[in-house]
Amino acid sequence: MTGASILLDTVTKRYPGQGKPAVNGLTLEIPAGKIVMFVGPSGCGKTTTLKMINRLIEPTEGRIVLDGDDVTRIDGDALRRRIGYVIQAGGLFPHMSVAANIALVPKMLGWSKERIAARVDELLELVSLDPERYRDRFPRELSGGQQQRVGVARALAADPPVLLMDEPFGAVDPITRQRLQDELLNIQSELQKTIVCVTHDFDEAVKLGDWIAIFNEGAQLVQYDTPERILAEPANEFVENFIGSGAGLKQLTLTRVDEVEVADAVVARPGDLATEVLSRMDAVGHNHSVIVDARNRPLQWLSRRQLSRLERVGAARDPRLPVVGNRATLNDALDTMLVSSVGAALVTGPRDTFRGVIDVDTVMDAIGRAHRHARTAHAQGRPVGVNTGTLEAVQASGAPGVPAAGLAGPERTRE
């Protein structure tokens, strides 16, 4: 694990001339190596909270603890070298090349030229930008999504244990956004940083977050939990409204096809006699048969009617076959089913081999199970998040849902 745990201990921020504090006595544990998403209405204090972690904004009261070290009073510049920070696309220096932007912190740390150059190329590869093509460009010669990638590379340059991101994907189109999100998840599974990320988009929070902190006005923490549990049991009406309608559908992005049971099918091969396949279908009461090639990869999906017109099964591959891979989400599977005439989809495993059939009923069952699972998972621990009181006081109180052990929490599996 390369990430560091973060503790905001009873932290308050009062801006000069403001009646109410922007953040009021917030205690929040951020477990090492996890992604924590901050969501909440505009002006509720998300950016303020985020910037207090690296002290770009100094807390009025309270402590910031990084991996057990109180960093509230240490030199702010030194602290910020241990914490990567990604802001919206504008965050790159326009007069500096991509390479120079990425090299900023390593340069400050006095790395050698060779080491810096190697690191720049390594990071460009990591964020899927070809170093040859991009290292000497200027930010204005990049698309919004590419600038955002460089921003992430720059934040990772000195290999900090913590990455703070303030609406990093807010300014790009939905397709690019999805790709950047997937990339962040890949980077995270490789590097296991501690990532705190602000977003306006609840779906993004569900997709990326191990934990989601939902704030209201004054950085009041309304719910701090896994996406699963927030969807299954929103703390109150405010959270319900935030989730919006379709919470059931959002469950679909949490579950992958390989986590649900798929149905068997009658399998046939090119050259088989149609009558023989039909009688096997009769025996088990199926209306379709899956035709696979010699390496067990699906070629066709034939109905009784289609088979009854054939003498022998053909070897052609149907290009419109509704197929989903093991790692697809149930949401992806549902999309595929809806456009297939069968109302179901074929599931393939390693090397595209046929695994079974998934249908709408299976997906509906999985949603029901996800709800029940989220409820029973309640007994497990979660990080502490409260608005008033120190970590010790909260733990000592034995308040429900607050683990004495602190940072332990349920693991969310993700590739």
Ligand X SMILES: Nc1ncnc2c1ncn2[C@@H]1O[C@H](COP(=O)(O)OP(=O)(O)OP(=O)(O)O)[C@@H](O)[C@H]1O
CB of 284 to Mg ion, least distance (A): 58
Q: Report the alpha-carbon distance of residue 384 to residue 224 in Å, rounded.
A: 8
Of these partners, Mg ion, ligand X, none, which one is at the site of residue 234 (CB under 5 to 8 Å by kind)?
none
Nearer to ligand X by Cβ, of 146 and 148: the residue is: 148
Number of neighbours of residue 271 by Cβ within 10 angstroms? 9
12 binding Mg ion? (CB under 5 A): no
Which residues lie near ligand X (CB under 6 A)?
A: 15, 18, 22, 40, 42-48
Nearer to ligand X by Cβ, of 3 and 62: the residue is: 62
CB of 38 to ligand X, least distance (A): 8
Half-sphere exposure of 403 (CA within 13 A, CB side): 16
88 binding Mg ion? (CB under 5 A): no
CB of 46 to ligand X, least distance (A): 4
Nearer to Mg ion by Cβ, of 47 and 326: the residue is: 47
Nearer to Mg ion by Cβ, of 43 and 314: the residue is: 43
Angle formed by the axes of helices 144-156 and 174-191, nearest 10°:
20
Q: Which of residues 41-60 bind Mg ion (CB under 5 A)?
A: 47
Q: Following DSSP, what letter does each residue of 398-411 receive, concatenated?
A: T-TT--TT-S----
253 binding Mg ion? (CB under 5 A): no
Report the candidate in 215, 265, 258 with the shortest Cα–Cα distance to residue 235: 215
220 binding Mg ion? (CB under 5 A): no
What kind and span of H or E run contains 121? helix 113-126
End-to-end alpha-carbon separation of the chain, Å?
16
CB of 58 to Mg ion, least distance (A): 17
216 binding Mg ion? (CB under 5 A): no
* Structure-token pair, residue 249: 């559908």
Nearer to Mg ion by Cβ, of 47 and 220: the residue is: 47
CB of 41 to ligand X, least distance (A): 7
What distance separates the 2 farthest-apart alpha carbons in the chain? 85
Of these partners, Mg ion, ligand X, none, which one is at the site of residue 22 (CB under 5 to 8 Å by kind)?
ligand X
If you count DSSP H runs as helices and E runs as strands, how many of each does the chain have, helices first?
A: 17, 17
What kind and span of H or E run contains 360? helix 360-376
CB of 217 to ligand X, least distance (A): 8
Q: Are strands 35-39 and 194-198 parallel, antiparallel or unpaired?
A: parallel
The binding site for Mg ion (CB under 5 A) comprises 47
